[in-house]
């Protein structure tokens, strides 16, 4: 089974934050407090490769913390990685945020798009596929839900192939489970790194 590709990467100094004592892997999907709506555990992928990348990630962190019906539980370290795709462009800073939210997936995605717009990113219909972006926010996991729509696919369809998604996600919770592959994030990352190591060994012979 081929999981995905590998790019050059290095961690950068961007301290993670943690929340109110939830231990990794311990969050029950769709839990409910009293008569309140169910609280979903969500992981959001964050990337920037234009202008002041650190400032864009900081904007994402601040706006996620201020989002209605949502609590920012943790924000991973950021990693600098090579871009993916056919368009030459600068390197990315990538991170992952963990949220508790009572927002349904579609309203949550709309709120994420508003943050992207605030960073200066064009509207969805005006974007260049694979092109550079001030800020990119994607729902990676929403509890154990599987969503396949025109505008939203969860789990993110490429997350298992991308080190720059799996590594910061693993920093937050290596035991989070991909609901389609039924593998933990830690297992997916290990497989991806082993595959990359094997390709490097094959190339050296």
Q: Which of 53, 121, 162, 171 is catalytic?
A: 121
Q: Which 3 state secondary structure label does DSSP give 53?
A: helix
- Annotated catalytic residue 162: no
Q: Which 3 state secondary structure label does DSSP give 58?
A: helix
Sign of the CA dihedral running 169, 119, 116, 158: negative
Q: Which two tokens stand for residue 156?
A: 């993110």
Q: Report the DSSP pairing between strands 136-142 and 147-148.
A: unpaired
- Annotated catalytic residue 121: yes
For 63, the enclosing helix (H) or strand (E) is helix 53-66
- Annotated catalytic residue 133: yes
Q: Which of 41, 63, 100, 138 is catalytic?
A: 138
- Annotated catalytic residue 150: no
Question: Is the peptide bond prior to 155 cis by the omega test (within 30 degrees of 0)?
Answer: yes
Q: Which residues are catalytic?
A: 121, 133, 136, 138
């Amino acid at each position: 089974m081929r999981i995905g590709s590998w790019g050059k990467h290095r961690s950068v100094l961007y301290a993670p934050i943690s929340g109110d004592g939830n231990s990794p892997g311990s969050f029950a999907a769709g839990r409910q407090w009293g008569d309140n709506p169910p609280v979903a555990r969500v992981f959001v992928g964050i990337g920037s490769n234009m202008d002041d990348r650190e400032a864009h990630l900081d904007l994402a962190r601040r706006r996620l913390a201020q989002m209605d019906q949502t609590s920012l539980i943790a924000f991973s370290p950021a990693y600098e990685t090579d871009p993916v795709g056919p368009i030459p462009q600068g390197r990315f800073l990538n991170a992952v945020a963990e949220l508790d939210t009572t927002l349904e997936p579609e309203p949550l995605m709309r709120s994420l798009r508003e943050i992207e717009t605030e960073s200066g990113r064009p509207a969805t219909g005006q974007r260049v596929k694979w092109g550079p972006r001030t800020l990119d926010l994607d729902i990676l996991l929403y509890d154990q839900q599987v969503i396949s729509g025109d505008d939203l696919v969860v789990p993110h369809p490429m997350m298992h192939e991308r080190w720059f998604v799996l590594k910061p996600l693993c920093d937050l919770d290596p035991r989070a489970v991909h609901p389609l592959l039924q593998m933990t994030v830690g297992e997916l990352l290990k497989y991806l790194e082993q595959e990359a190591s094997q390709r490097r060994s094959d190339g050296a012979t």
